């Protein structure tokens, strides 16, 4: 049996079903008050980071109607990565050109804070980190992140 999408769950009246504990529903619920959602990744984005940003942006746009931004941190230099961006017509904004709004939420995919694999400043309104990589113990001094951990309301890290 196919799982129902987060969108299908979100259109149900609140009094007909108990609140969902699914990560996608918690993820979306925490973004309700954000003006927009920006997706960031590691330097030199690759297909898993690009695909993650695209899929999550689609989820946010279709379920919440929020505007989203996809970014790149550094150049996309590998031929297969450039081809993916070109074929899909992705508009990737340069991290260094962005300004963060006070009510914006930033979602990091395929990377983690304090790992040195991105060039985000500490003023970034980081909401969630979704990553499949193990975290070296030395890089988790300020905050411990795990795969698909979702923080409380948007917080500075």
DSSP tag of 43: B
Quick one: pLDDT at residue 16? Answer: 56
pTM: 0.73
Say what the pLDDT of residue 24 is: 86
Cβ atoms within 10 Å, residue 109: 23
Structural domain 20-150, CATH architecture? Alpha-Beta Complex (3.90)
Per-residue pLDDT of the chain (157 residues; tens, 9 = 90+): 233 445 444 544 455 556 667 888 889 999 999 999 999 988 888 898 899 999 999 999 999 999 999 999 888 889 998 999 999 999 999 998 998 898 999 998 877 777 766 777 777 888 888 877 676 654 444 443 333 444 444 444 4
- CB-count burial class (<10 Å; 0-12, 13-18, 19+) for 63: buried
CA distance 103 to 28: 15
Q: Specify the pLDDT at position 3.
A: 35
Q: Residue 10 is encoded by which pair of tokens?
A: 């979100």
């Amino acid at each position: 049996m196919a799982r129902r999408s987060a969108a299908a769950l979100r259109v149900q009246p609140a009094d007909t079903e108990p609140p969902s504990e699914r990560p996608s529903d918690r993820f979306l619920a925490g973004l309700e008050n954000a003006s927009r959602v920006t997706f960031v990744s590691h330097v030199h984005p690759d297909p898993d980071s690009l695909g993650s940003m695209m899929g999550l942006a689609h989820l946010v746009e279709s379920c919440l109607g929020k505007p989203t931004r996809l970014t790149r941190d550094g150049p996309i230099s590998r031929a297969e990565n450039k081809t993916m961006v070109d074929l899909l017509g992705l508009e990737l904004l340069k991290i260094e050109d962005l300004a963060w709004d006070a009510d914006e939420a930033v979602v990091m995919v395929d990377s983690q804070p304090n790992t040195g694999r991105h060039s985000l400043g500490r003023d970034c309104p980081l909401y969630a980190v979704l990553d499949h990589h193990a975290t070296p113990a030395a890089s988790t001094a300020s905050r411990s992140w795990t795969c698909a951990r979702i923080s409380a309301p948007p917080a500075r890290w």
